[in-house]
C-alpha cells in the first residue's frame, strides 16, 4: 500500500481500519451464531442418543463408561449435578450412591 501524504491520506487509512474492524466484528458474530446453532444441534442429538440408549447406559457398565468417555471428549459432564438435566434424563442422580454401593459390595436389598 502506498503512503499518502497529508491529513486526507491519514483519514482514509483510519476509515479503512474502521471498516476492517466492522467486517471483523460481523464475521466473528456470524461464526459465534453458527457455533451456537451447531452446539444446540449437538445437544439435541446427544439427548436423543441418551434417551434411546438410556437403559443400556444405566445398566451396562461398559456402555456407561463409553457414554461418559464420549461426553468427556466433547466437554459434557452428565454427572456434574444430580439435579441437572442429565440426571433427570438418564436417571443417574443416584449414580454416586450406586457406585458406592457396588464398590462396598452392598446388595440391592439394602
Looking at residue 25, the DSSP 8-state letter turns out to be H
Q: Provide the pLDDT for residue 106.
A: 44
Burial class (CB in 10 A: 0-12, 13-18, 19+), 101: middle
Q: Supply the range of the domain harboring residue 79.
A: 7-108
Question: Cell numbers at residue 100, please?
Answer: 458406592
* pLDDT tens-digit profile, the chain (110 residues): 665 568 888 888 899 999 999 999 999 999 999 998 988 888 788 888 888 888 888 888 888 888 888 888 877 776 654 555 566 666 655 555 455 555 544 444 44
- Does some domain include residue 90? yes
Residue 1 falls inside a structural domain: no
Q: How many domains does the chain have?
A: 1
CA–CA distance, 80 with 72 (Å, rounded to integer): 11
Q: Tell me, what's the pLDDT at 40? A: 83
Radius of gyration of the chain (CA): 26
Residue 2 lies in a domain: no
Q: Does residue 42 fall inside a structural domain?
A: yes
Give residues with Cβ within 8 angstroms of 95, minimum separation 6: 79, 82, 87
Amino acid at each position: 500500500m502506498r503512503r499518502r501524504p497529508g491529513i486526507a491520506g491519514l483519514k482514509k487509512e483510519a476509515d479503512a481500519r474502521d471498516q476492517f474492524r466492522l467486517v471483523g466484528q460481523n464475521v466473528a458474530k456470524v461464526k459465534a451464531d453458527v457455533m451456537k446453532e451447531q452446539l444446540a444441534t449437538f445437544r439435541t442429538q446427544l439427548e436423543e442418543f441418551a434417551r434411546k440408549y438410556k437403559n443400556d447406559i444405566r445398566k451396562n457398565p461398559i456402555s456407561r463408561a463409553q457414554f461418559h468417555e464420549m461426553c468427556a471428549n466433547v466437554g459434557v459432564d452428565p454427572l456434574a449435578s444430580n439435579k441437572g438435566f442429565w440426571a433427570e434424563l438418564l436417571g443417574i442422580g443416584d449414580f454416586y450412591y450406586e457406585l458406592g454401593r457396588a464398590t462396598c459390595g452392598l446388595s440391592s436389598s439394602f
